[in-house]
Structure 1
């Protein structure tokens, strides 16, 4: 291969790499809703058997936990404030990307956006406040007072979230009818504080496999809410892997 051919091939390869980088950055900073279900490197393996809604929800949970754990290490253990700020910028940008690109797979996106944006911002401010307090080198009493303020802030955020988005019902899909009981699949629902899974509920008329149902939940202190009975049966058919409960309730 001549030098001219080599340089021409090298230039073409560099151009392709630059175009890939530009498209990747454009997709990251200006995300558009995706038409295909999400597939994440880590949480995708853990949630391969779940619905697209659960996949996105699980990924957001793992992402937030990883951010909190990494921030704690950088701020409290190794004292690297600039790395913490860089991590926070990357995390918030990726959180925005994930919610915009895959938010439509959530049955009700608004509560998830408010919850994760709000809680992430609150967490960032908590770590920043700790860094400021640490730099001032105040008495240990101030640390206890700051910890109390953090607890109060988290509780206040949760109360406001529950008042804005909280509800005592959720939606599910009838999977099986057995005697006087129904086996209902309930999606992860942050507004109702319900964990995803199958629940046995008392049977009601017209509840057949594939039907979307409205389910009453019972709140329990310091634990997730528990589905107790069916309030309404919708005529539309659905399946465990769809997001049709959202469409049935609109």
Structure 2
């Protein structure tokens, strides 16, 4: 092979590489809606049940990525070039979060509350760590750190209040799995707006309730446990599997 053929082969390889990188960059910056559900093999291993829903997977993955981002930031503030580290981490996280929510957001039962919550929470975390780095550079007294922590805590409380006032509700939806005497067992998806964790709950039975029916459930906040369903408010006409969306499609009986 002469030098001309070598250069031609190298040129083709570079052209293919540039093309692949260009497509990857376009897909990352301008993601298209996916027609197939996400898999997220690492996050899926955290869920021990085999019959988890796509909504659960999406919600869990957003949580995992967010907590990894917090942990990375907590380590980065002690790096020699902490400011640049935080900026790079924030850029990578923002690009990935935007890609996930744009490409797979439709697989969340109610995407807007999740997008809003993690977007604002991530911004608060970024500026909180950024401020901590600034205080370290200024070399202030320790009581400034205490005041800063109190300020960030107050900001988090305000955000929680704003989120609840905008998206919060005192009900959620579930699918009846079992009717047993005066009780029914319902499956409830993860519901960030109602602050309900995914799982199975027992609530008092009501007339006309049958397995696979969608029900609207009143929830009750409990300290340190989040909210839990306590009773059925409405029974909907359609029947469906608990592994599909629990959003009702018909009026109540």
Choose the corresponding residue for 1:184, options 186, 189, 194: 186
Partner of 1:233: 235
Shift of 1:13: 4.3
Partner of 1:136: 138
Deviations 1:72-127 (A, max 9, x none): 01104666221121011100111111111111111111111110000000111101
1:169-180 pair list within 5 angstroms: 169-180=171-182
d(CA) in 1 for partners of 2:80, 2:249: 48
Partner of 1:162: 164
Aligned residues: CA RMSD: 2.1
d(CA) in 1 for partners of 2:176, 2:206: 11
d(CA) in 2 for partners of 1:248, 1:38: 28
1:169, 1:215 within 8 Å by CA — same for their partners in 2? yes
Shift of 1:157: 0.6
Shift of 1:222: 2.9
Shift of 1:182: 1.3
Partner SS for 1:195:
coil
Partner of 1:39: 39
1:199 aligns with 2:183: no
1:75, 1:131 within 8 Å by CA — same for their partners in 2? yes
Partner of 2:29: 29
- TM-score, with length taken from structure 2: 0.90
Deviations 1:51-89 (A, max 9, x none): 000000000000010000110011046662211210111
Partner of 2:100: 98
d(CA) in 2 for partners of 1:4, 1:15: 16
Shift of 1:174: 1.1
1:61 aligns with 2:38: no
Choose the corresponding residue for 1:212, options 200, 214, 230: 214
Choose the corresponding residue for 1:70, options 64, 67, 72: 72
Residues 236 and 246 of structure 1, relative CA distance in 2, 3 Å threshold: closer
d(CA) in 1 for partners of 2:248, 2:122: 26
Shift of 1:143: 0.8
Partner SS for 1:172:
strand
Deviations 1:153-182 (A, max 9, x none): 111110111111111100111112222221
1:106, 1:243 within 8 Å by CA — same for their partners in 2? no
d(CA) in 1 for partners of 2:220, 2:132: 37
1:181, 1:200 within 8 Å by CA — same for their partners in 2? yes
Partner of 1:120: 122
1:212, 1:248 within 8 Å by CA — same for their partners in 2? no
Deviations 1:176-220 (A, max 9, x none): 222222111000000110000011111112222221111111011
Extract unaligned runs of 5+ from structure 2. Answer: none
Partner SS for 1:42:
helix
d(CA) in 2 for partners of 1:246, 1:74: 45
- TM-score, with length taken from structure 1: 0.91
